[in-house]
Amino acid sequence: MTIQLEREEAGRETTGRPSLGGRRLRSFVGDWLPAVPFLVIIGGLLVGAAIWLVQASFRNPLSGEWNLDAWQQAFAAGPLYRGAIVNSLVIALTTATICTVVGTPLAWFIHHLAGRQRAFAVALTNTGANFVGISLAQTFVATLGVAGFATKILSDLGIAWRDGLYQMHGLVALFCYFTLPLYVLLVLPAMSAVKPTWWEAVQVSSGGRWTYWRRVGLPVLFPFILSGWVLTFAWSIGQFSVLDALLSSQGEQFITTRIGGLINAGVVFGDQSQLAAAYSVLLMGISLIALAAYQLLSWRPLQRLKES
């Protein structure tokens, strides 16, 4: 697909020039040669992988016949099928919403820090956003696991937690660890869209804090907040490693862990790759929609932000 696009565009570029065929070819090669390894390895693999997954979800891996079996099975009732989809949606929606509610004021406050304080806050946020995967799962086991640091505090306070980490609320607490910093990093640049002079203007018109946020601050920030929510949602729903490390085939099921399980199941239970591909395409579809929404929501406000 990309190669086709290149040819067309390069053709358009060169036809304008009065030149011989050979020269045109040389110019074409000159335009694209340094990019060939990149386009072949990265472009080829990513686009190829997406295409392969779509066709594999409609195709029996053994007989090669085309069917809709995997798609029917994917949405079938039961904790391993529809339940996994619902769980994934619930955890992503909850996580993204909590991050938006807590992260927006947090980003605002970080934006108003200066110098070393700000550098430290951003560094800690960066660390949190990066600290995803197995190490994070392990630290949470030590914190909220059966014999964890915070579990002890909670039980001293009279709150029974025990294996709460492996249930939905525990997993949400874990997910927020890396999605909250991520959300903050995403909306932090947007905070400069709210100008300090507007606060003065509101005060001159005898408005208070509430009016300021209600009528000025939040409406200006709204597209950024919404796009941050969308991206945090997409990021949460695609998480695999923490869930895989914590749940290891027990407890709640999620789309991502189902994909991992189905791929591994192939060794023992026959090739399940069609169903795995169907779940992959489902996840891909959700993420693509989220990403498109993000682009759509944030493009115009971002341009405006750059201009100001």
Partner 1 sequence: MTTLEDRRPLRVPEEPPATRRPPRRSVPGKGRTRNVLFALVFLYLIVPPLAALFFSLSAKQYDGLFPQDWTLSHWTGIFDDERLIAAIRRSAVLALGTVALVTLLVLPPLYWAYVRNPKLRTIMLVLALLPFSLPFVVMAFGIDRVAEQVAFLEGYSGTGLMVLIGHVALCFAFYLWPVDAAMSAAGVNRLHEAAQASGAGPVTTLVRCIIPNIMPGLVSGSILVFAISWGEYSIAKIMTRSQYEIVPIWQVNLTPVNGTSDPRGVAVMSVFTFVLFLVVSLIAAIKGTSRVSLDETHPTAAKES
Applying the rule CB under 8 A, the residues between 54 and 113 that interact with partner 1 are 56, 102, 105-106, 108-109, 111-112
- Please state the closest distance from residue 171 (CB atom) to partner 1, in A: 14
Rank residues 77 and 306 by Cβ distance to partner 1 and give the closer one: 306
Q: Which is nearer to partner 1, 49 or 80 (CB)?
A: 49
Judged by beta carbon, residue 66 or residue 131, the one nearer partner 1 is 131
* Contact yes or no for 179/235 (Cβ under 8 A): yes
Site for partner 1 in 207-236 (CB under 8 A): 209, 212-213, 227, 231, 234-235
Shortest Å, Cβ 143 to partner 1 = 4
Of residues 143-182, those binding partner 1 (CB under 8 A): 143, 147-153, 155, 176-177, 180-182
Amino acid, single-letter form, for residue 260 = G
Number of residues interacting with partner 1: please give it, by CB under 8 A: 113
Site for partner 1 in 11-50 (CB under 8 A): 13, 30-32, 34-35, 37-39, 41-43, 45-50
Q: Are 262 and 273 in contact (CB under 8 A)?
A: yes
Q: Hey, which residues between 112 and 141 contact partner 1 (CB under 8 A)?
A: 112, 115, 118-120, 122-136, 138-140
Question: What is d(CA 211, CA 215) in angstroms, rounded to the nearest whole number?
Answer: 6
Whole-number minimum distance, CB 198 to partner 1, in Å? 10
Q: Considering beta carbons, is residue 77 or 170 the nearer one to partner 1?
A: 170
Burial 127-155 (b: 16+ CB within 10 A, else e): ebbeebeeebbebbbebbbeebeebeebe
Asked if 203 touches partner 1 (CB under 8 A), the answer is yes
Q: How far apart are the first and last CA of the chain?
A: 37
What are the start-end ranges of the H helices in the chain? 2-15, 21-32, 36-38, 44-56, 69-74, 82-111, 115-130, 134-144, 149-156, 168-187, 196-204, 209-211, 218-237, 241-247, 255-269, 273-307
Amino acid at 178: F
Shortest spacing between CB 37 and partner 1, in angstroms = 6
